[in-house]
A and B are shown apart, each in its own frame.
Chain A
Amino acid sequence: MLLLQIDTALIIEKLILISAILMVSLGIAMYATWGERKVAAIMQDRVGPNRAGPLGLFLPLADGLKLFFKEEIIPDRSTRFIFILGPCLAMLTALMTSAVIPWAPDFITSSGHTVAFQVADINIGILFVFGVVSLGVYGVMLGGWASNNKFSLLSSIRAASQAISYELAMGISLIALLMMTGSLSLREIVQQQHGFWGDGYFTWNFFKQPVGFIIFLTCTFAELNRAPFDLPECESELNMGYHQEYSSMKLGFYLFAEYINLFISSTILITLYFGGYNFPFMDQVAASVSPLLFSIICMLVLISKVVGMILFFMFVRWTLPRFRYDQLMKLGWRSLIPLALANMLVTGILILWVFKSH
């Protein structure tokens, strides 16, 4: 059997990496719930959570415990299997995307063994992300349908149509970026954005694709179901949204998956447009510290950029009011898609006639 010829050291290394990434995603998602409340409080001139521990820092733990100990209710008229499957799918798709993100440059140990801080370097990395994101809507849709509640169903239909509409513009804006990078691998996209300044221009893709970035960002808001596009869960119209019939940890899974999605989407945005783990003067830093320390610095840089991005998402949520549903669809189909197409065309023309790089 060939099964026995697999490199066990590699498997152990990857397993450690996977568990570390999962722990970090869960931890950041946990504290994002705390951060969201604190940001909301500060922006509304309140104190915010301050009971559980210093600054209310134990609040996520208390929340989790509360959800675990709540009574589990499965509605009588629900489709039981799909009802349970819904939150599982939401969580699964939220956690899967982190597999292709490069968290830090490769680190070569003294024995010559290369440790890659990326679970899988597949050459279609960004398409993998896209595939998983497009599957993410099933958790919401199946959960809302299986609850056998009109409001849940309406909400899940809203979520699905919103996700499909905005995926188009997102994909087209991404095509413009991929035309510039010439690669679908996230690892290569990050490596091309090395440092901050090179060849007389910024290396980060944000400066090369500003319009594409804005379209991508807007679509990310819609894909995440976050304000101003949080129509699938708008309380005033739909009571609670697709997770109305859920209780206990199943509800927790839905809410938690949203925060994990927020973290992962911020990471993808940073990786694609803001240089991933790259930072200005990284060559000088690399020359003066040990390789392991350099990798850790890069990882910390990535995480701090991601935290900044998450804070931006939160500021927007507590600043802008919610769109109306027809406004949302108009924005997606009549503004963003034509804009993304024009952006793609201009990028193509520039590459072909001005830069002549391909």
Chain B
Amino acid sequence: MGIYDLLFWVLSAIAVGCALGVILSRNPVNSVMFLILTFFSISGHYILMNAQFLAVVNIIVYAGAIMVLFLFVIMLMNLNADVEPQKGQLVQLAGVISGGVMFLVLLAAIKTAVPVSIDTNSIDIGLITNLGKVLFKEYVLPFEISSVLFLSAMIGAVVIGKKEPLTQEGEV
């Protein structure tokens, strides 16, 4: 077993362990921290696949920005283990069933998927120059469409977040 396999197994163990921690811990702040650790171990996997750019962008966007916002909301709403609403039995059952169905679909998809092997010896596969060329030549249309999607989401957020103008009576 080489250093590559060793790192792979260690990272996978951390990723799975932390992902379990996210759903098992009672305190929402601990969940967020487990999720951050999960992102770090996934970034480690990206680095093993020579995709440094993807790894670091994963850290910047998910661990650095989105999780900060998660933490933000949790802190503002002061969610603690004691105030967490307890779901009824029926809701829990529904959750288990839909989760199980989702798992089944995933399993079916993975079963028929053809594994793509990554040549870990080619150093420049995930570098930013190659990534940029692929994104802007082969996948330029999906890339641009997804950016328009982001733009519309952003505008939507601005519209929702805008203050309502005062009505004629001077009341909202």
Name A's B-contacting residues (CB within 8 A). Answer: 1-3, 79, 82, 122-124, 127-128, 130-131, 134-135, 137-138, 141-142, 145, 153, 156-157, 160-161, 163-164, 167, 184
Contact = CB atoms under 8 A, between A and B. Distances in A.
A137 B68 contact: yes
B68 A138 contact: yes
B64 A127 contact: no
B24 to A, nearest CB: 16
B76 A157 contact: yes
A131 B56 contact: yes
A310 to B, nearest CB: 25
Given A124-B128, A131-B59, A160-B72, 9 more contacts: A3-B3, A122-B52, A127-B53, A135-B59, A141-B72, A156-B75, A157-B72, A160-B71, A161-B72
A337 to B, nearest CB: 12
A67 B61 CA distance: 36
Chain B, interface SS category: helix
Nearest to B36: A138
B4 to A, nearest CB: 8
Contacts of A1: 1-3
Interface of B: 1-4, 6, 27, 29, 33, 36, 52-53, 56-57, 59-60, 63-65, 68-69, 71-72, 75-76, 127-128
B75 A153 contact: yes
B71 A141 contact: yes
A130 B57 CA distance: 9
A173 to B, nearest CB: 16
Please give me the 8 A-B residue pairs with the lowest Cβ-Cβ distance, nearest first: A134-B64, A131-B59, A2-B2, A127-B56, A2-B3, A131-B60, A131-B56, A145-B75
Contacts of B57: 127
A31 to B, nearest CB: 30
B71 A131 contact: no
B168 to A, nearest CB: 28
A127 B126 CA distance: 15
Contacts of B72: 141, 157, 160-161
